[in-house]
Structure 1
Amino acid sequence: MIEFQETTSGSPIPSNTRRAKSINPQDEYMLIKLLLT
């Protein structure tokens, strides 16, 4: 199971994605869009 955590932007993303510090906000936004579709 993937636990969702609230980010500073208020968008829930998988904690494992959040741990990838090399990710930038735009890629993070795209991942969120992919998760919601």
Structure 2
Amino acid sequence: MALAVTEANFDELVLNSGKPAMVDLWAEWCGPCRLIAP
């Protein structure tokens, strides 16, 4: 399940979830990120 995680909800959704989490970091200014983005 994909979720939009922000700085405001990162602790709640990732750090305190009680389950393993995979975090995919992306930045608009990152060339390699833009190449693999849908």
TM-score, structure 1 length as denominator?
A: 0.23
Structure having the higher Rg: 2
**TM norm structure 2:** 0.23
- By percentage of residues, which structure has more strand? 1
Bigger helix fraction: 1
